[in-house]
Structure 1
Amino acid sequence: MIFLTSSLLFLLLLLIVGIFAKNSSLIVAVGFLLIIKVMGLGDKIFPILQTKGINIGITIITIAVLVPIATGAIGFKELGEALKSPYAWIALASGIAVAIIAKNGVTLLASDPHITAALVFGTVLAVALFNGVAVGPLIGAGIAYIAMRFFDLFQ
């Protein structure tokens, strides 16, 4: 028998938000978690997803980003041509900055896990209401980390 726990109700609410917002990523993610929970596999699978999920997700995103290199659509020639553009240098600097920000996000989430609830809620809102992409908790944590350090400077 399935009991309606607060976590199950919360997931169902998120599913409804995902359906209402027509956000397939949120629908699939919540649906996946609901299936695991209803099947009674949460105690075994959730800890693995919680500890390794970000790394698995980053690996999948990295694979997707590298596909044009693997297919030959982007090579050394294209890289050389791109670096002649000021926009490419802006993109290069942005890539470096976001990777450093995300690293700080991992640090914050590891050292201050209660922040995760606010970050996850902010990400869910952005995904559901603004058609955002769910990389928000990591980048959000990195931005929060930097903002907290600035805040600490002025305390």
Structure 2
Amino acid sequence: MQAYLFLFMLLVIAVMAKNQSLLIAIIVLLALKIIGLDNKIFTLVQSKGINWGVTIITIAVLVPIATGEIGFRELGNSLKSPYAWIALVSGVFVALLGKSGVVLLAEDPHITTALVFGTVAAVALFNGVAVGPLIGAGIAYTAMKIIEWFH
């Protein structure tokens, strides 16, 4: 019963915040619970969902390359810009944070509650995008390792 109450509370927040992604996610989860498919599907989505999401995002990012909109010339031209180098370094940094996030979530799954709450709050209240748990876990893991290093 607690799960339904929590999901309905989040549904209200999603409606008030007019956040379509959060709204769809909650409706899908509620529907799966109501029809009784939650045990099988939730386990699968929890274990593979992040990888599926990253794959879908990667496909979306690579579409301009597949369509020919971005080619070697555009890549070469973009690397002449200091902003492109900032983006390149940021991409490397975020990918490394994401890797650390996967490690933290595997080693310390109870931290997921705080990460999910933070992500939901950012999505609902600030129109954020729900990539937060993985990157948030990476940032948390990095911060924890820095704190451990000093102690």
Normalized against structure 1, the TM-score is what?
Answer: 0.96
Shift of residue 150, structure 1, vs aligned partner: 1.1
State the 4+ residue runs in structure 1 displaced beyond 6 angstroms.
Answer: none
By how many angstroms is 1:71 displaced? 1.2
Q: Which residue of 1 aligns with 2:24?
A: 28
Instruction: State the alpha-carbon separation in 1 of the partners of residues 51 and 104 from structure 2.
Output: 16
Q: Does 1:58 align with 2:54?
A: yes
Unaligned runs of 5+ in 2: none
**Does residue 38 of the first structure (1) align with residue 38 of the second (2)?**
no
1:129-148 alignment, distance < 5 Å? 129-148=125-144
Per the alignment, residue 77 of structure 2 pairs with 81
- Report how far residue 70 of structure 1 moved: 1.0
Counterpart Cα distance in 1 of 2:12 and 2:41: 23
Letter in 2 for 1:128: A
Q: CA deviation at 1:48?
A: 0.3
Deviation for aligned residue 1:154 = 2.3
**What per-residue deviation string (whole Å, max 9, x for no partner) do you get for residues 47-71 of structure 1?**
0001000000000000111111111
Instruction: Determine what percentage of the aligned residue pairs are the same residue.
Output: 66
The whole-number CA distance in structure 1 between the counterparts of 2:60 and 2:4 is 32
Correspondence 1:108 to 2:104:
yes
Normalized per residue, which structure has more helix? 2
- Mark the runs of 5 or more structure 1 residues left unpaired by the alignment: none
What residue in structure 2 maps to residue 128 of structure 1? Answer: 124
Q: How many residues align?
A: 151
Aligned: 1:48 with 2:44: yes
How large is the RMSD of aligned CA atoms in angstroms?
A: 0.6
Question: 1:73 offset after TM fit, Å?
Answer: 1.0
Counterparts of 1:12 and 1:69, CA distance in 2 = 41
Determine helix, strand or coil for the equivalent of 2:109: coil
Question: For the residues of structure 2 that align with 1:29 and 1:56, how far apart are their CA atoms?
Answer: 15
